[in-house]
Structure 1
Amino acid sequence: MAQSPIDLPSRLLLNLKPWRNATHWRVAFSGGLDSTVLLHLLAHLAQTHALPVLSAIHVHHGLQAAADAWPAHCQVVCDALRVPLHVVRVQVQAGASLERAARDARYAAFSSLTQADDVLLTGQHRDDQAETLLFRLLRGAGVRGLSGMPAQRALGQGSLVRPLLDVTRAELEAYAQFHQLHWIEDPSNQDRQFSRNYLRHQVMPSLTGRWPQAQASMARSAAHLREAQELLDELAQIDLARCVTPSGFAWLGLPSLDLAALAGLSAARQRNALSHWLQPLTRLPDTDHWSGWTDLVAAASDAAPVWRLADGELHRGAGRVWWLSGHWLRTPQIHDEWRDPSQPLHLPDNGHVMFSGQTPAGPLQIRYRQGGEVLELAGRGHRDLKRLLNERAVPAFVRGRLPLLFRGEELLAVANLPGLDGSAQDGWKLHWQPTGEDQGLR
C-alpha cells in the first residue's frame, strides 16, 4: 500500500490560515483527482478543527455524454463525507475556444454563488501552474500572464483561493491511493487537440525527462514574475495618483484620467498605468491592439478620437480620457412632452432630469442637440449653442446626449452647465443625473 503524505493536511491548513474566519468554504468539485483530494482533506480536517461551513459545487457543462453521470458520482462522494452538494447546470457559448468558453461558464457560475465572506476553493496544483506558465509563454503573454495562477483573487462578493499550488500531482495521487479514493477520469483530458492536454501529455513528459525539476522551476519562475507584477502594480498606483485629478465634469459619474499627466510618462509606464486602470473595466487588449492608444494620444487637439476595447470605449475630451460602456454607447431617444415637470423625467438610456426651484411654464420637452440651436442669455443676447459648448470645453461624447429643455421651438436651458442651466430671474435650474449603470465594472 502507498505511504500516506502525512504532511498534506497540515500544509493545507497552513495555506488556508488567512481564511479560517470566512463564513463558508465552497469546494469547486468536478469529481476529478484534484478536487476529490481537496474535498476529502477538508472534510476530515473539519472533524478535528474549527473550520468554516463546508460545501461543494459541481458545474455540469453538458458537453459530452459521459458527463451526465458525474453529478451522481459527486453526490455519492459528498454523501459519504457528509458535505452538502450544489449541482449547477450551465450553457457553454459557442466560440473559437471550447476550453475557454467552458471555463468562462464555470467561473460565472462560481461567481454568482460566492457571497460576502465566502471562499471558493479550487484544486489546481503545482503541475497545473507549470502548464499555465508554458501555455501563456507560447501565446506571448506579458508579466501579468506569466505570473501564472494567483493563490488568491476576488470572486463574486468573496474570494477564490487555490490552496494546493505548492503540491504536486504525484502527491495528490499518493494521498488518493492511500485513502482508496475514487475519482472521475474525464475522457476529454486525453484529447490532444486541446492545447493544455497536448502540453500535459506530449511536451511536459519530454521536458521533465530531460530536466526532472522543470515543473518546480517553472512554478518558481511564476512566483518571481508575480513579484515583478506586484512592483508594476505599485508603480501604476503611483503614476495613476498623478492622473486622477478633479474634473469639471465629475457629475458625469464616469471614470477618467488627466491626459497630460498620463502622456507625460514613458510609453511603457503609460501602458502599465492604463492597463492597471482598465483591468476592472474591460478585458485588456493584446500587444498589437495598443496602437489604438497611441492614435488616441497623438490625435489633433480638435479631434474626438475613440479607442474601442472589448467591453467599452476610451474617449478623449476636456483634457482627459474617459471610459464609456453600457448606456453611454447607445443613442438616447427623444422623449415626449414633459407632462408633469414637478416630477423627475426618465430619459431612455440617459438617466433622468429634474427641476430645482420654481418650475417654468409649459408645455416643455427634453430634446438632444441636432445642430443650429440658439440660446438667449441675459446680457449676451442670442448665442449659438455650439459656441457655448466649446467655451465650456464640453467633451464631444457628452454633447449629443446633454438634455436640452425646449418650450415649443424655444431653447430654454442646457442641463448641468452653469449659466446655461436655467433662469436666475425666475429661480429655476435644470439638473441631469446621467445613467447610474456601472461603467463596465466586472
Structure 2
Amino acid sequence: MKPTLPATLLHTLAPWRNAPAWHIAFSGGLDSTVLLHLLASLAKIENLPPVSAVHVHHGLQAAADAWPAHCQSVCDALGVPLRVMRVQVSPGASLERAAREARYQAFMQVMVAGEVLFTGQHRDDQAETLLFRLLRGAGVRGLASMPEHRPLAQGHLVRPLLAFSRSELEAYAHQHQLQWIEDPSNADPRFSRNYLRHRVFPTLTERWPQAITHLARTAEHMAEAQGLLDELALMDLQRADQPSTFPWLPLPSLALEPLRELSDARQRNALRHWLIPLTGLPDSDHWAGWHALRDAKGDAQPLWRLADGQMQRSGERIWWLPSTWSEFSDASVSWPDPQNPLELTGNGQLKFIGEAPEGPLVIRYRQGGEIIDVPGRGRRDLKRLLNESGMPGFVRGRLPLVYRGEQLLAVPSVAGAWARSVGEVQLDWLPQSCDQGLS
C-alpha cells in the first residue's frame, strides 16, 4: 500500500527539521492550499520549526485583489501567520517569467539564513516543465527540470510535493473540504504552460495514460545525469583553477591550458558549471564565442560577451568580467590629503604605505604615452612597464595614476616587477570588492 500523503511528506521534510523557520509560498490555489494544510496539521503533532505563509500579490488582474483576504482567512483558520507582499511586474517578452522573477525576489526578502521556503509544485508540474524545456531545445541541465531543493538567498527552496500528482492533491483537498482559488489566467491557452496543460497533455494521456508519471521519471533520470556531469566538471575545473599571478585582482579566472587538453564537450561542460553563478548560460549557437576566445593568438585580447558580463583572455588565462566591472568613472580626482586613504568611485581604494608625499595630488587614468621615473632605471615608458608585468589589458584602463601637477609621481606596481615609488614609500591599490590590494 502506498504511504499516505502526510507520512510521505514528513519523510521528505526530515532534512529540514532543524531549520530556524519554515515559510510556505501561498498563492491560495490548490497546490499551496494542500501544502499549507498538511504542514499546519503536522505542526500540531510533530515538533516542527515555526511555520508561516507568504502571499505575493502581482496586481496583474482585477480578480487577484480579493485573493489576499481569502488567504488571510485560510491562514487564520489554521493558526498560521501570513505576510502579504505586493510586487511590481516588469513588462517584457514573457509575462510568466517576469511574474516569476518578481515573486522570487519577494520570497528572498523574507528569507533569513538557514530558513526554508516550501512551494507546492507537483508531479504534473514537473512533467509540464520537462516537455516545455524539451520543446525549447534544452540540454541535460534544463531537462532535469525542477530540483527537489536548491539554495535561495541565504536559505533553501524546497518542493516537497513533486512525488504526488495533481489528482492526489485534489483528493486530499476534497477529503478535508478545503477551499481554494481558481486563477482565471490558468485557463488562458496563450500562456505556454496552460497550452500544454489543457491542449497537449489530455491528448498524450488519452493515448499513454502514464505519460505524466513517465515524463516526471525522465526528469529524475536527467537530474541524476546532470549530477554526474557536475562531478566531472569539478574534476576538470580543479586542474584549471591554478593560482593567478595577480592575486589582488578580484575576478574569477581559470588557466587555459588544462581546458585546452579536454574534448570540446568537456570544455563546455566545465565552463557551464563555472559560469552558472556568474551569468545566464549561452545557447548552443553562442559557443562559437568560446572557440574564438580559446583559439586566438597569445598576444590577442579576445572577449566573449555573455548575458551578465564578458569573458576575456590575457595570455594563457581566461577571466570573467561582470557587467559592473566597467561601471567606474575615469575622470580626474583630487587627493588633497595623501596621508589618508582615497576612495575611488567604483574603483576601490588607494593609499600610501609609509611616509606619503605632500599633497595635493591628482588621480588620473591612462591616456597613452605616460613616462615615469624608475629608481635605478631612469625614465621609462609606462606601457612597456605594464607589458613587462603581464598585467591584463582590461585592468590597465582602471589603474590609478598619481600626479603632482603634470608629473606622474607614482603608479601601483606588481611586486618585484618594477619600482614601487620614490624611496621607501609604497602605493597600494585595493580594487573594488577585493581582499588583497595591488602594491
The yes-or-no answer on 1:329 pairing with 2:306 is: no
For residues 35-89 of structure 1, the C-alpha deviation after alignment (integer angstroms, 9 at most, x for no partner) is: 0000001111111110110000000000000000000000000000000000000
**How do residues 11-410 of structure 1 correspond to structure 2 at under 5 angstroms?**
11-410=8-407
Query: Deviation of residue 10 (structure 1)?
Result: 0.4
Instruction: Indicate the percent of aligned positions where both proteins have the same amino acid.
Output: 64
Q: Give the one of 418, 421, 424 matched to 1:423.
A: 421
Indicate conservation of the 8 Å contact 1:351/1:434, yes or no.
Answer: yes
Indicate conservation of the 8 Å contact 1:333/1:347, yes or no.
Answer: no
Query: Deviation of residue 319 (structure 1)?
Result: 2.0
| Number of aligned positions between the proteins | 433
Amino acid across the alignment from 1:235: L
Indicate conservation of the 8 Å contact 2:328/2:345, yes or no.
Answer: no
- 4+ aligned runs moved over 3 Å, structure 1: none
- Structure 2 residue ranges without an equivalent (≥5): none
TM-score when normalising by structure 2: 0.96
Query: Deviation of residue 411 (structure 1)?
Result: 1.7
- Structure 1 residue ranges without an equivalent (≥5): none
Structural RMSD (CA): 1.5
Measured at CA, do residues 327 and 204 of structure 1 come closer, stay the same or move farther in structure 2, by a change above 3 Å? closer
Q: Secondary structure at the match of 2:297?
A: coil
Query: Deviation of residue 417 (structure 1)?
Result: 2.0
Measured at CA, do residues 437 and 287 of structure 1 come closer, stay the same or move farther in structure 2, by a change above 3 Å? farther
Q: Secondary structure at the match of 2:156?
A: strand
Query: Deviation of residue 420 (structure 1)?
Result: 4.1
Measured at CA, do residues 217 and 6 of structure 1 come closer, stay the same or move farther in structure 2, by a change above 3 Å? closer
Measured at CA, do residues 34 and 199 of structure 1 come closer, stay the same or move farther in structure 2, by a change above 3 Å? same
Indicate conservation of the 8 Å contact 2:339/2:356, yes or no.
Answer: yes
Measured at CA, do residues 420 and 414 of structure 1 come closer, stay the same or move farther in structure 2, by a change above 3 Å? farther
Query: Deviation of residue 437 (structure 1)?
Result: 7.8
CA distance in 2, matches of 1:416, 1:62: 55
CA distance in 1, matches of 2:39, 2:284: 42
Amino acid across the alignment from 2:174: Q
